[in-house]
Structure 1
Amino acid sequence: MLPWVRLGAVETEDGVELRLMRRGTEFSIMLGANELMNSRLSGSEEALATLATAALAGRPQVKMLIGGLGMGFTLRAALKALDDGARVTVAELMPAVVEWARGPMAEVFGGCLDDPRVTVRQEDVGMVIRAAARSWDAILLDVDNGPEGLTRQGNDALYSAAGLGATWQALRPGGVFTVWSSTPDPAFTRRLKKAGFTVTEVPTRANGKKRGARHMIWVARK
């Protein structure tokens, strides 16, 4: 078996090492001892986008905000489903993740960062959400392991009552908010409903073929 090779590493603001690993054609992004994502397992990240775009079917010139670049699976799935008039903004806090996307992982991204519909902002997605009311048709969050933050303590605010209120305000009428999580979280479902969203919980599989780890996606409609 081929050995894992470390291609890059950076320390997060919480003092934990985030590193990019490669084994043959397989990539992995690790946070400490935890694997955050793997290039072989894209199914649930793609579902985050396909569920959002399906909920917006027929809406012209969609403005979408994606929180978290990851390995680009959500972005690529969104671009495949959206028309030429759509605009997709990706907010990624870690500059190293963007550098890896344009460097060692360029083959995984397949040029999607150069799509004219795409803007990448190296910024906290929470700040982007709070910047303006009724700005987005869709907000997609995949910035952590889910509502129980793992990568960054500051992410917890996104899933709090105040954070969900800000997301509600940032969405246009009829907008959709989808959230990726490694596990179910009934308390988060209740917070979404209390914030005014109509909520559907959608279990998904990591590889998109009814196998692999079980993940959860919330589809919340304004």
Structure 2
Amino acid sequence: MSTPYDIPEVLDRREGPYGEVVLRRHGGLLQIIANGCFLMDTSDGRSERLLVDAALASLDASDTRAGHGPRPDPRVLIGGLGVGFSLAHAAAAPRWGRITVVEREPAVIEWHRAGPLAEFSARALADPRAEIVEADLVAYVHETSDTFDALCLDIDNGPDWTVTEGNDGLYSAAGLQDCARVLTPGGVLAVWSARPSADFEETLRNAGFQQVRTEEIPVARGVPDVVHLAVRPG
């Protein structure tokens, strides 16, 4: 017998600067859809938490290799607000200093500030360390004069599976040079992906990053999600 939860309920649908974005409820889950492409939902958050934890662990390891202790109050840039799991997890960790989230969709920001997604991020958004910047991440890392100790990027389904064509540039040699420019020496780049990408690992190395590795995130079925990790030389 069918139930009302078999059909997703659209809570909001908007035409944003980069196409259509939809927030819908499917059973007990909230889902974000961009231009018909499923981005993420509130089912787990394990991937988003690992993205932040892996970046911090790699940053500490990088500092240890450089011969000094963990840096105090490291600054993190989170690319993509999504359903708020990465932001909330970073804000729950006292180690992080400034937490900057770059999100290009005004609707997503509003859903967090005054909509259904507030339950996942309200406490984090009230944290004085946290700020949301409404901007396209590719343009932001190209233009900003700010620097960060870690970049945690989760704006696509991976380097080989982007949401919009413009995002391709972020994973190119030029885009990775921009990422390196805004990273402090020994800083860490962490990129979430729905599947491993040997080509992206090679591009990271060719762009001058060191300690390139891929950490798997177990899933119930299919190919594991991954986090690509790389360190800017000191």
**Structure 1 stretches lacking a partner, 5+ long:** none
Q: Does 1:100 align with 2:103?
A: no
Q: Distance in 1 between matches of 2:27 and 2:144?
A: 44
Q: Is the 8 A contact 1:133 1:171 kept in 2?
A: no
Q: Show the counterpart of 1:6.
A: 10
Q: Show the counterpart of 1:86.
A: 97
Q: Does 1:204 align with 2:207?
A: no
Change (3 A) 1:29 1:155: same
What TM-score does the superposition give when structure 1 sets the normalisation length? 0.89
Q: Does 1:114 align with 2:118?
A: no
Q: Please identify runs of 4+ aligned residues in structure 1 that moved more than 6 A.
A: none
C-alpha deviations, 1:47-106, integer Å up to 9, x for none? 1101011123321121111110001111122222343x6001100000000011121111
1:111-150 correspondence runs (5 A):
111-132=123-144, 135-150=147-162
Range that drifts further, 165-174 or 132-141: 132-141
State the Cα distance separating 1:133 from its structure 2 match. 5.8
Q: Distance in 2 between matches of 1:145 and 1:12?
A: 19
Q: 1:47 aligns with which of 26, 45, 50?
A: 50
Q: Distance in 2 between matches of 1:212 and 1:54?
A: 27
Q: Is the 8 A contact 1:149 1:155 kept in 2?
A: no
Q: Show the counterpart of 1:189.
A: 201
State the Cα distance separating 1:123 from its structure 2 match. 0.6
Q: Is the 8 A contact 2:88 2:123 kept in 1?
A: no
State the Cα distance separating 1:157 from its structure 2 match. 0.8
What TM-score does the superposition give when structure 2 sets the normalisation length? 0.85
Aligned residues: 216
C-alpha deviations, 1:104-124, integer Å up to 9, x for none? 111122421111110100011
State the Cα distance separating 1:212 from its structure 2 match. 4.8
What amino acid does structure 2 have at the position aligned with 1:204? I
What amino acid does structure 2 have at the position aligned with 1:35? F
Secondary structure, counterpart of 1:81 in structure 2: coil
C-alpha deviations, 1:7-60, integer Å up to 9, x for none? 111235454x22000134310112344321010131111111010111233211
Change (3 A) 1:95 1:122: same
